[in-house]
Chains A and B, each alone.
Chain A
Amino acid sequence: MKLAYLGVLVFILLASGWLEVVLRTRVYTRWRRLVLTLTVPVAVFVVWDIYAIGADHWGFSDQYTTGILLGVLPLEELLFFIVVPIAAILSVEAVRSVKGWPLGDEVLPDLPPDAHPDLHIGPLR
């Protein structure tokens, strides 16, 4: 049962991963953008987690985790902050694949593709 928490993470990967194939989310395909994206939430939430463990907000079961620690942080927690953002981005791109609603990073047809990114902010909704 030491693999219980890891099992939850595997479930999240599988429950979201099929979107990459069936809805062509192209999130894993665009892995450089994905890696850059992950740096910020991983950094922020690892710091939050380490603080919360130190301040005794929460703790982890020895019985249901591998026991592998990175300092005070269980390995599963670091992986959580990678797996959950990926699942969230897959969900967003899956809905975009079906509905086509804009997210704010699209190239507007009447702007040259190399136009400054700030030009895309205003009118995009």
Chain B
Amino acid sequence: MTYTQLALVGVAAVVLLDLLVVRTRLLTRKAFWVPYAIIVFFQLVTNGVLTGFRIVTYNGDMIVGDSTPIDGPPPFLGEGRIAFAPMEDLLFGFALVLLSIMMWVVWGRRGVQRTPMAGPPLWRDRARDAQ
């Protein structure tokens, strides 16, 4: 299988797990999508470093875009690339992030260190003390 095909299968698998099998239904929650927007920004930055400096290189036969050139960075945008990285990496990252958060929720749901819950932020201490 190509990376493109495998990435699509990976996303389909975790979406199926989330909505139908494990039923964490993270894809229906703001509590997933807002953090994901933050995560994907940092993915573009860090993965841009990994792919732009050719720390990781890709085979053009396995992705929508062309192979990582030997003598310079790949395209920043276009030709199947987004911030130097193959667009497949966004699918790969989505699958990794959704699976990870899903398992975190699964163990919480099963009662493994469900508490102490997150929060409140430090800056709210002062507001509370003032009351």
User: Interface residues, chain A, CB within 8 Å of chain B?
Assistant: 4-5, 8, 11-12, 15, 21-27, 29-30, 32-34, 36-41, 44-45, 48, 51-52, 55-61, 64-65, 81, 84-85, 87-89, 91-107, 117, 120-121, 125
Picked from B1, B53, B93, B100, the residue with its CB within 8 Å of the CB of A4 is: B53
Q: Inside 8 A of A89's CB, which chain B residues have their CB?
A: 100-101, 104
Interface range on chain B: under 10, 10 to 19, 20 to 34, or 35 or more? 35 or more
Measured between C-beta atoms, what is the minimum distance from B45 to chain A in Å?
A: 9
User: Interface residues, chain B, CB within 8 Å of chain A?
Assistant: 1-3, 6, 10, 23-26, 28-32, 34-35, 38-39, 42, 46, 49-50, 53-59, 61-63, 93, 96-97, 99-101, 103-123
A-B contact pairs, 26 of them (CB 8 A): A4-B55, A11-B46, A15-B42, A24-B121, A29-B116, A33-B104, A36-B107, A37-B106, A39-B103, A45-B96, A57-B63, A58-B58, A61-B57, A65-B55, A88-B39, A92-B101, A96-B117, A97-B119, A97-B120, A101-B31, A103-B108, A104-B24, A104-B105, A104-B109, A105-B105, A120-B109
